[in-house]
Structure formats: C-alpha cells, structure tokens
C-alpha cells in the first residue's frame, strides 16, 4: 500500500475516533450485545433495531482504543439500512481482510471504507480491536436467523 493511501486511511480512523458516528443508544432497539476485548481493554455495546428485515438503526456505546472505536463507528455507517444477509456479506469481507486468510489482494473497491483496515493484519494484536464491534454485532443478531459464521 502506498504511503499516501496509508495516510488517508489513518485520517479516516482518527476522524471516526474523534467524531464517532451513531455513538448513542438506539431507542427502542430490538437487539443488543456487549463485547469485550481483554487484550486491549476495549468495551463496546452494540444496539440495533430490525424492522421488516432491515437494520433500521444501529448504534454503539463503549470505551476503547482508536481502532476499536473507529471500527465500530464505520460499521454502524455501513450496516444501517442493510438486511442482515447483506450485513453478513460485509462482515465476511471484513473478516477476510483483517484476518488475512486469502493471499489475494482484497477487492478494495467493493470494501469501500472498510479498506481503511486493509493494513491491520500486519498487527495481530490490533485485529481483535478492529473486529470486536463486528463480533458483537454478530452475537446481537445470532438469534435472528441470519447465518452465523464462527471463526
């Protein structure tokens, strides 16, 4: 990844950390879950309201490092308005990206803003920070009937 791109990504992370989107409690919400990453001390609480198979609203509260917070913030902006099935697809793409399971270059265009986390697999400790919000979202909706992928 070239330096200019890296810098741009860093700015997105810093921006979401400073001004997190949807940092509040969804009221009323139909699903919620709490997540904790003991390696870093990140805590996140995800709230969402599902209506007619659409994620009508999704939000988060919590405390954590810049990576965990910006990841949760980005996630809420990406999942709002999606169906749980679409959210699942985005989750899978994100997971492949940060876990680095595939050697192929990820399709950065399809990932959109998620590509911000493309460099994170070089920092295994940080992968947990970045994926915390996603796993917490997952446990919030697992009783909903979407397909749950375990690690």
Residues that bind Zn ion (CB under 5 A): 40, 42, 65, 68, 129
Contact between 62 and 45 (Cβ < 8 Å):
yes
Which of 31, 135 has the CB closer to Zn ion? 135
What is the smallest separation between the CB atom of 67 and Zn ion, expressed in angstroms? 5
What is the smallest separation between the CB atom of 68 and Zn ion, expressed in angstroms? 4
Put the strands of the sheet holding 31-37 in their side by side order. 31-37, 42-51, 54-63
Contact between 12 and 113 (Cβ < 8 Å):
yes
What CA–CA distance (Å, rounded) separates 148 from 151?
10
What is the smallest separation between the CB atom of 87 and Zn ion, expressed in angstroms? 22
Which of 78, 120 has the CB closer to Zn ion? 120
Which of 65, 108 has the CB closer to Zn ion? 65
Which of 25, 39 has the CB closer to Zn ion? 39
What is the smallest separation between the CB atom of 132 and Zn ion, expressed in angstroms? 7
């Amino acid at each position: 990844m070239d330096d200019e791109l890296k810098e741009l990504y860093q700015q997105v992370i810093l921006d979401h950390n400073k001004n997190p989107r949807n940092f509040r409690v969804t009221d009323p919400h139909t699903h919620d879950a709490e997540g904790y990453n003991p390696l870093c001390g990140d805590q996140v609480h995800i709230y969402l309201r599902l209506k007619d198979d659409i994620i009508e609203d999704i939000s988060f509260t919590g405390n954590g490092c810049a990576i965990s917070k910006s990841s949760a913030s980005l996630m809420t902006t990406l999942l709002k308005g999606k169906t749980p099935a679409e959210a699942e697809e985005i989750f899978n793409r994100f997971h492949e990206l940060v876990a680095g399971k595939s050697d192929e270059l990820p399709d950065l265009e399809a990932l959109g803003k998620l590509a911000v986390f493309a460099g994170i697999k070089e920092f295994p400790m940080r992968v947990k920070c970045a994926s915390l919000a996603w796993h917490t979202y997952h446990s919030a909706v697992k009783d909903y009937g979407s397909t749950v992928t375990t690690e």
